[in-house]
């Protein structure tokens, strides 16, 4: 029988509820329990795949796709999920399933289609009970796919939002139906520290908990996000005003590394408290917690520092590339290296190409994934600059496609080479829509998605990274490098390092004489703190080698 932990958010969004959810999962894992997680996103998009990352952060891609079938004969492919799934995978080391990302789009789509198919015949279809029942059904079904000991459900948005209300009502009903020791409600809230008065302020939290109470929900645990740890008297105050014992008020301060959070929670007795509330007999936690502690230490102790320029078009919010940021940090931690990231809007280079020389200050360049026209020329210019200056460069997906365009322009001299996504009337479309994409009309869920097998060519840099000719990585794209142009590029020294097993598509390119590598897939989605992605690891290793060589030359 599955036990449920519901995680709601108060006061503000963006306070790290995903990291809290993942950390709660981790402390159950410390006790040898199995864990799965779910995220509820109250927006009306069916999945986040159509969202600009500036709106809602990165779009994460799962290992598998889910064939969402609200009624017979109507199937929607879901593989793109909320970025929190990346956090869950990185903390829990479990492949998440797209069925575990509920959106309001999916819920309402199901209810409306069911009405058309006569499922509620004779009834007025309403938010309560029809929408709430659909929500409960989705939570229960998803939890039973793996039947973990604990199912942690993160409710997106903030308590008080109109769009979150049906979910909170569904959770109220579930708590009643399942009974006391089967569910726990954790409320994560912001407790600002006001420097001017030197105090933590609890009022916004009091209001947010009142809001929850007015909907029939009493939190069991309050997690207080703040830049400083919560002093005892603040915990006491929250306890008094919010109707929870003071040991159930848990501090969630700023940390050097997010991977520390499960340990910080454990120190405050959160694991024990959760087990008590859920009446779970816990195993000893020593061995697994020690493993994690050793891992976290790696993220804090560095011998080296590497500066990486992340060049892209969604640099306004850091979360746009969160899996890449984390994959770089995983590789860095493994190699005793701190990774310092600088986000550079590629449009800057279009405005003034002289600015490209700032790239000389970096040890490596990462050309990011993306879509559309804006900022593309600047990204191509950076790739050309890296090739001329032999700056290590890793291009991911769009980044790999733009690296290819840069190579064609630079070494074959086709100055108007482009992608049909960017300039459909260019004379040389060296990146073009994949054949199977040409007749697709609907945009949502129709890209090449999820994990695919590839053949890696021996002797390449990519082979050196994986040490294998067979790899499986995740994809999310519509366009691809055109093979005829790849042949021309090969004649000028470009190396094709990987091919899709099913479709023979070009999945990896690289240069011979410098560590400049592009991959059509997203290795960052499978990177975990304890298992860094081979591509990212090889990238950082080469940067370190490069730095060493440079230093020696200087001596
Ligand atoms: N826009 C490109 C494509 O669709 C690349 C996508 C990406 O970077 N994920 O092929």
Query: Per-residue pLDDT averaged across 293-319, rounded?
Result: 90
Mutate to test the pocket of ligand 1, among 310, 324, 369 (most ligand atoms within 8 A of CB): 369
Where is average pLDDT lowest: 2-6, 298-302, 516-520? 298-302
Selected catalytic residue, list 410, 510, 524, 538:
524
* Strands ordered across the beta sheet of 516-519: 337-345, 304-312, 364-367, 393-396, 516-519, 506-510, 495-500, 448-456, 470-477
Query: Per-residue pLDDT averaged across 472-490, rounded?
Result: 97
pLDDT bracket for residue 534 (50, 70, 90): very high
What is the position in ligand 1's atom list of the atom closest to the CA of 371? 1
The helix/strand/coil state of 20 is helix
- How much of the chain exceeds pLDDT 70, in percent? 100
The DSSP code sequence of 395-413 is EETHHHHHHHHHHIIIII-
Q: What is the pLDDT of residue 443?
A: 86
Q: What is the pLDDT of residue 96?
A: 97
Options 3.40.50.300, 3.30.1360.120, 3.30.559.10, 3.40.190.10; CATH for 3-296 is: 3.40.50.300
Q: What is the pLDDT of residue 129?
A: 95
Q: What is the pLDDT of residue 554?
A: 79
The yes-or-no verdict on residue 245 having pLDDT over 80 is: yes
The DSSP code sequence of 128-148 is IIIIHHHHHHHHHHHHHHH--
CATH assignment, 304-554: 3.40.50.880
Query: Per-residue pLDDT averaged across 235-249, rounded?
Result: 96
The yes-or-no verdict on residue 56 having pLDDT over 90 is: no
User: Pick the residue with more confidence: 399 or 550?
Assistant: 399
Annotation says 522 is catalytic: yes
State in Å: Cα 399 to ligand 1 middle.
8
Domain parsing of the chain, residue ranges: 3-296, 304-554
> What span, in angstroms and rounded, lies between the C-alpha atoms of 389 and 401?
20
> What span, in angstroms and rounded, lies between the C-alpha atoms of 471 and 481?
19
Whether ligand 1 lies within 6 angstroms of the CB of 476 is answered as yes
State residue 354 phi and psi, 5-degree precision: -60, -25
Where do the DSSP E strands lie in 388-469? 393-396, 417-419, 428-433, 448-456
The DSSP code sequence of 506-541 is EEEEE-SSS-EEEESS-GGGG-BTTB--HHHHHHHH
Q: What is the pLDDT of residue 505?
A: 96
> What span, in angstroms and rounded, lies between the C-alpha atoms of 462 and 45?
37
Query: Per-residue pLDDT averaged across 483-496, rounded?
Result: 97
The yes-or-no verdict on residue 317 having pLDDT over 80 is: no
pLDDT bracket for residue 283 (50, 70, 90): confident
Q: What is the pLDDT of residue 441?
A: 85
Do 352 and 345 form a contact (C-beta atoms < 8 A)?
no
Query: Per-residue pLDDT averaged across 487-515, rounded?
Result: 96
Asked if 3-296 and 304-554 have one fold, the answer is yes
pLDDT bracket for residue 550 (50, 70, 90): confident
Whether ligand 1 lies within 6 angstroms of the CB of 477 is answered as yes
Annotation says 345 is catalytic: no
- pLDDT 10s digits, 105-163: 999 999 999 999 999 999 999 999 999 999 999 999 999 999 999 999 999 989 989 99
Annotation says 524 is catalytic: yes
Residue ID of nearest Cα to ligand 1 atom 1: 371
């Amino acid at each position: 029988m599955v036990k449920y932990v519901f995680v709601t958010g108060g006061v503000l969004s963006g306070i790290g509820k995903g990291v809290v959810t993942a950390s709660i999962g981790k402390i159950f894992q410390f006790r040898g329990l199995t864990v799965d997680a779910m995220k509820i996103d109250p927006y009306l998009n069916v999945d986040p795949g159509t969202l600009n990352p500036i709106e809602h952060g990165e779009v994460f891609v799962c290992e598998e796709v889910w064939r969402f079938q609200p009624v017979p004969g109507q199937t929607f492919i879901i593989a793109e999920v909320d970025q929190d799934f990346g956090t869950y995978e990185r903390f829990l080391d479990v492949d998440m399933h797209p069925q575990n990302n509920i959106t309001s789009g999916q819920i309402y789509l199901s209810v409306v289609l069911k009405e058309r198919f006569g499922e509620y015949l004779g009834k007025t279809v309403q938010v309560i009970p029809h929408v709430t029942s659909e929500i409960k059904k989705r939570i229960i079904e998803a939890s039973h796919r793996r039947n973990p000991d604990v199912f942690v459900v993160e409710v997106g948005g903030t308590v008080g939002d109109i769009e979150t209300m049906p979910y909170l009502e569904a959770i109220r009903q579930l708590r009643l139906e399942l009974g006391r020791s089967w569910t726990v409600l954790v409320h994560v809230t912001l407790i600002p520290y006001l420097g001017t008065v030197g105090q933590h302020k609890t009022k916004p939290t009091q209001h947010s908990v009142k809001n929850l109470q007015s909907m029939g929900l009493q939190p069991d645990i309050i997690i207080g996000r703040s830049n400083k740890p919560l002093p005892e008297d603040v915990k006491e105050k929250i306890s008094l005003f919010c109707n929870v014992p003071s040991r159930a008020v848990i501090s969630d301060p700023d940390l050097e590394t997010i991977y520390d959070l499960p340990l910080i929670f454990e120190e405050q007795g959160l694991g024990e408290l959760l087990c008590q509330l859920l009446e779970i007999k816990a195993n000893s936690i020593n061995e697994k917690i020690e493993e994690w502690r050793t891992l976290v230490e790696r993220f804090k102790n560095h011998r080296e520092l590497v500066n990486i320029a992340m060049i892209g078009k969604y640099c306004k919010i850091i979360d746009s590339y969160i899996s890449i940021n984390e994959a770089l940090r995983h590789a860095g931690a493994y190699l005793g290296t701190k990774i310092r990231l600088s986000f550079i809007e590629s449009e800057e280079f279009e405005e003034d190409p002289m600015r490209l020389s700032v790239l000389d200050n970096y040890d490596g360049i990462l050309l990011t994934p993306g879509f559309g026209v804006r900022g593309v020329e600047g990204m191509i210019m950076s790739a050309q600059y890296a090739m001329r200056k032999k700056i290590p460069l890793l291009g991911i997906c769009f980044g790999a496609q733009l690296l290819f365009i840069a190579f064609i322009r630079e070494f074959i001299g086709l100055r108007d080479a482009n992608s049909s996504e960017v300039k459909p009337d260019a004379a040389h479309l060296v990146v073009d829509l994949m054949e199977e994409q040409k007749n697709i009309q609907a945009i949502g869920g129709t890209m090449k998605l999820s994990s695919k097998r590839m053949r890696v060519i021996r002797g390449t840099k990519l082979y050196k990274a994986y040490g294998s000719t067979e790899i499986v990585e995740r994809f999310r794209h519509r366009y691809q490098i055109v093979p005829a142009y790849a042949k021309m590029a090969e004649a000028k020294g470009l190396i094709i390092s990987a091919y899709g097993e099913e479709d023979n598509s070009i999945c990896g390119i690289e240069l011979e004489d410098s560590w400049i590598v592009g991959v059509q897939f997203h290795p960052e989605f499978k990177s975990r703190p304890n298992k860094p992605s081979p591509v990212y690891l090889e990238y950082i290793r080469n940067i370190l080698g490069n730095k060493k060589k440079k230093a020696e030359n200087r001596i």
